[in-house]
């Protein structure tokens, strides 16, 4: 299965399902507007997000990829903009939990909007999956995301190690049409959109999925079940 091979080998893949122009517009206009601090919102309980997360096709797609039950554990809207500056390369390694507990491998801890957040170990992050959807764009063509293919296989990296990976491994620029569902491994090293003149802004909906029991003995701050596979 090519989708599975791409996701495991490259760290990213495009899902077989896609949102229509009308669905993208509805998602964007019905969700709370992005704020000026990066557009972070606790959106999982919003009716629009619940409908998307519980859509039958999405549930089937993710089950086919992972072969196990997943829950949505985080969602946010990002405002992305192309620029001539250097990309901010990163991995996604922070998770939101119900309460703080001293568990080996987790830390350091922070709090965002009153919710405990913690750096998760590679053992958890390898089981998780990120879904990114371009909801709108000033461009007539695809938006972009820069990634380092296969970098997720190196595990969780320090900032210095991320810089080393970017300096020594060829990056790729993904073209992501509006409505396409891009799946990413959280440990994939990725950066901002490719530079473009004049700069272009667009909104990205990002939803993070994980097995419900993978974080035990901690508990997810929120956990929304997908449509059953059967």
CB-based contacts of 112, cutoff 8 Å, min separation 6: 40, 96
Residue 186 CA to residue 69 CA, distance in Å, equals: 18
Please say if the pLDDT value at position 230 is more than 60: no
Say what the alpha-carbon torsion angle 122, 76, 113, 46 is, to the nearest 10 degrees: -120
Q: Is the pLDDT of residue 166 over 80?
A: yes
Q: In the beta sheet, which residues pair with residue 111?
A: 116
At 134 the pLDDT is 86
> Binning pLDDT at 50, 70 and 90, where does residue 82 land?
low
Q: Would you tell me how many other CB atoms lie within 10 Å of the CB of residue 99?
A: 9
> What residues are paired with 144 via a beta bridge?
175
- Give the H/E segment covering residue 80: strand 71-81
Task: Calculate mean pLDDT across residues 51-64.
Answer: 89
What is the pLDDT averaged over residues 9-24? 90
Confidence (pLDDT) at 229: 61
Q: What rounded mean pLDDT belongs to the chain?
A: 86
Q: How much is the average pLDDT of 135-158?
A: 84
pLDDT band, very low/low/confident/very high, at 140 (cuts 50, 70, 90): low
Domain ranges of the chain: 2-90+125-214
Q: Is 19 exposed, middle or buried (0-12, 13-18, 19+ CB in 10 A)?
A: buried
- Give this prediction's pTM: 0.90
Task: Tell which wins on pLDDT, 70 or 16.
Answer: 70
Question: What pLDDT was estimated at residue 154?
Answer: 95
Q: Map residue 25 onto helix, strand or coil.
A: helix
Residues 68, 219: Cα–Cα separation, whole Å: 18
Is a pLDDT exceeding 80 seen at residue 196?
A: no
CATH architecture of 2-90+125-214: Sandwich (2.60)
Q: How far apart are CA 37 and CA 4, in angstroms?
A: 35
- Does residue 88 surpass a pLDDT of 90? no
Report whether pLDDT(32) > 50.
Answer: yes
What is the average per-residue pLDDT within 191-205? 73
Instruction: Using pLDDT thresholds of 50, 70 and 90, give the confidence band for residue 195.
Output: low
CA distances in angstroms from 220 to 68, 112, 210, listed in the order given: 17, 14, 10
pLDDT score recorded for residue 201 = 74
Query: Any idea what DSSP says for residue 12?
Result: E
Most confident of 5-9, 109-113, 142-146, 186-190: 186-190
Rounded-to-integer distance, Cα 90 and Cα 19, Å: 27
Sheet of 94-96: strands edge to edge? 94-96, 115-119, 109-112
Helix (H) or strand (E) holding 206: strand 201-210
């Amino acid at each position: 299965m090519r989708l599975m091979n791409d996701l495991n080998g490259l760290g990213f893949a495009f899902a077989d399902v896609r949102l229509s122009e009308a669905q993208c517009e509805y998602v964007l206009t019905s969700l709370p507007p992005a704020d000026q601090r990066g557009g972070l919102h606790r959106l999982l309980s919003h009716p629009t997000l619940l409908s998307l997360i519980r859509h039958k096709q999405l549930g089937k797609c993710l089950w086919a990829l992972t072969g196990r039950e997943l829950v949505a554990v985080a969602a946010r809207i990002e405002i992305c903009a192309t620029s001539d500056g250097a990309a901010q390369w990163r991995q996604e390694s922070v998770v939101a939990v119900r309460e703080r507990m001293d568990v080996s491998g987790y830390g350091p801890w922070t709090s965002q909007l009153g919710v405990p957040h913690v750096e998760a170990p590679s053992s958890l992050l390898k089981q998780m999956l990120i879904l990114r959807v371009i909801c709108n764009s000033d461009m007539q063509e695809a938006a972009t995301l820069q990634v380092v293919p296969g970098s997720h296989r190196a595990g969780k990296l320090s900032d210095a190690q991320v810089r080393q990976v970017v300096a020594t491994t060829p990056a790729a620029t993904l073209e992501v049409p509006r409505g396409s569902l891009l799946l990413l491994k959280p440990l994939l090293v990725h950066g901002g959109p490719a530079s473009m003149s004049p700069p272009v802004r667009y909104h990205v909906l990002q939803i993070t999925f994980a097995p419900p029991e993978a974080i035990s003995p901690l508990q997810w701050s929120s956990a929304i079940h997908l449509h059953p596979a059967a």
